[in-house]
Chain A
């Protein structure tokens, strides 16, 4: 393995969060972005083909070394790690709305979900999945929320672009077929 790959491996091993390409490039000022990408690829191949228990994953706009999913059950059974706690449906709904509408205020989330969300919102902020990203210009200048890099990390997404596009969903918000008065019950 060349020196750059070794450096990348060491940096990724020591970090407890995904490292971005920009951060990784700081390891060697002489290396171009293409060099770093190439070296990352060689690390990835080494893990994939060398029979390793870990793999290099592109996640949260960065790179991270993670254990292989097929080994998860055994590691958890041995009580060496815990799986992250699952979020409630209420939390997931709130997260979904924020992910698609960010920056978005609490009132809009409540309008869509049809329930008060302050408790859930506080929980999401506490867990670092959502954060205040600004204030609306509207009345009372309400806080606006957006998702954090941790949100991407916990969903294994490389970036927000990986979220399904709204027109790819089976329920698309297309203009409705007019419901005539004669159809009223």
Chain B
């Protein structure tokens, strides 16, 4: 059993593995290499099934290129199954085009290996013009062992007056209530000052709720907001839809 074929069976592992391939040809070539198959005489039926198994379950849009290859393999498989007249001079092996592409791709693979080698050598030589790293950047990763880390965590916990537990507080925002209050004010008076809308002794939550309510009403066209000067008072008046109603 090959690595790829095995990975395909294991439902959790193969996606990560597929990302290691740079494309369907890479995957195909890996399957062929792992089984030491002669590239010019590929057992298409077997390889096609393994290929389909390997890409099975991958998101469609992500695997479009792989699906195309799968379709190609299956077509070749079918072509080989079709009966053909004996001694047909014109018969062409349907695998020929695939073999040509695989060889071409293998060549690219070899060049990539060579280029990577050169790039690695070159990466050890620095030209002038390298800007030194930003001194503000985070310090290098700490080098410490687990005992030191645990000791530090312990110290921090001990330094706390009491364990801090995360508590979920219900959000005191009440936009619906604020909307009702603003609408009541509108019915009562044609227009009013923003501060009046907050009500007596508002909490920050009241202010935010009221603001959200007013903005929503303004969006719906039910109130009109007028501010004559920057930072001046905001007048809230009936909006166009409210007047029409």
Known: A66-B127, A96-B108, A112-B105. A81 touches B118 (CB 8 A): no
Q: Are A96 and B24 interface neighbours, CB within 8 A?
A: no
A92 at the A/B interface (Cβ < 8 Å)?
yes
Q: A81-B130, A156-B121 known; A114 and B25 CB under 8 Å? A: yes
In Å, the complex CA distance between A57 and B109 comes to 28
CB distance from B155 to the nearest CB of A (A): 28
Decide: A169 near B110, CB < 8 A? Known: A81-B132, A92-B116: yes
Whether B119 contacts A86 by the Cβ 8 Å rule is yes
**Binary flags per residue of B166-206, CB closer than 8 Å to A gives 1, else 0:** 00000000000000000000000000000000000000000
Partner of B40, one of A97, A99, A177: A177
- Give the residues in chain A near B158, CB-CB below 8 Å: none
Contact A154 B126 (CB under 8 A): no
Give complex CA distance A86, B130 in Å. 17
Interface secondary structure of B, over-half rule: helix
User: Would you call B33 an interface residue if the criterion is a C-beta within 8 Å of the partner chain's C-beta atoms?
Assistant: no
For the complex formed, measure the closest distance between the CB of A98 and the CB atoms of chain B, giving whole angstroms.
11
Chain A residues with CB below 8 A from B112, complex form: 89, 92-93, 96
Interface string of A49-67 (1 = CB under 8 A from B): 0000001010000001111
Chain B: residues with Cβ within 8 Å of the partner, total of 51
Q: Does A10 belong to the interface (CB within 8 Å)?
A: no
Instruction: Determine if B125 and A113 form an interchain contact, defined as CB atoms under 8 angstroms apart.
Output: no
Within 8 A of B (CB), among A91-132: 92-93, 95-97, 99-100, 112-116
Alpha-carbon gap, A176 to B43, bound state (A): 17
Known contacts A80-B132, A170-B110, A176-B96: does B121 contact A113 (CB below 8 Å)? no
Per the 8 Å Cβ criterion, residues 6-61 of B in contact with A are: 22-26, 40-41, 43-46
CB distance from A92 to the nearest CB of B (A): 5
Asked whether, in the complex, the Cβ of B133 is within 8 Å of the Cβ of A115, the reply is no
Determine whether the beta carbon of A169 is less than 8 Å from that of B111: yes
Does B99 count as interface, using CB distance less than 8 angstroms? Answer: yes
Nearest-neighbour CB distance to chain B for A75, whole angstroms, equals: 7
How many Å lie between the Cα of A154 and that of B104 in the bound state?
A: 25
Q: Which of B44, B121, B127, B133 contacts A69 (CB 8 A)?
A: B121
Are A92's CB and B125's CB within 8 A? no
Of the residues B91, B103, B111, B119, contact of A181 by C-beta under 8 Å: B91
User: With A114-B23, A181-B91 as given contacts, are A171 and B107 in contact (CB-CB < 8 Å)?
Assistant: yes
A84 to B122, CA, bound (A): 9
Residues on B with beta carbons closer than 8 Å to the beta carbon of A81: 126, 130, 132-133
B25-A92 in contact (CB<8A): no
A61 CA to B57 CA in the complex, in Å? Answer: 49
What residues of chain A lie closer than 8 Å to B129, measured between beta carbons?
16-17
The answer to whether B22 and A93 touch across the interface, beta carbons within 8 angstroms, is yes
Measured CB to CB, the residues of A under 8 A from B are 13-17, 55, 57, 64-69, 72, 75, 79-84, 86-90, 92-93, 95-97, 99-100, 112-116, 153-157, 163-164, 166, 169-173, 176-179, 181, 183-185
Interface positions of B (Cβ within 8 A of A) = 22-26, 40-41, 43-46, 65, 69, 80, 84, 88, 91, 93, 95-96, 99-101, 103-112, 114-116, 118-119, 121-130, 132-133, 140
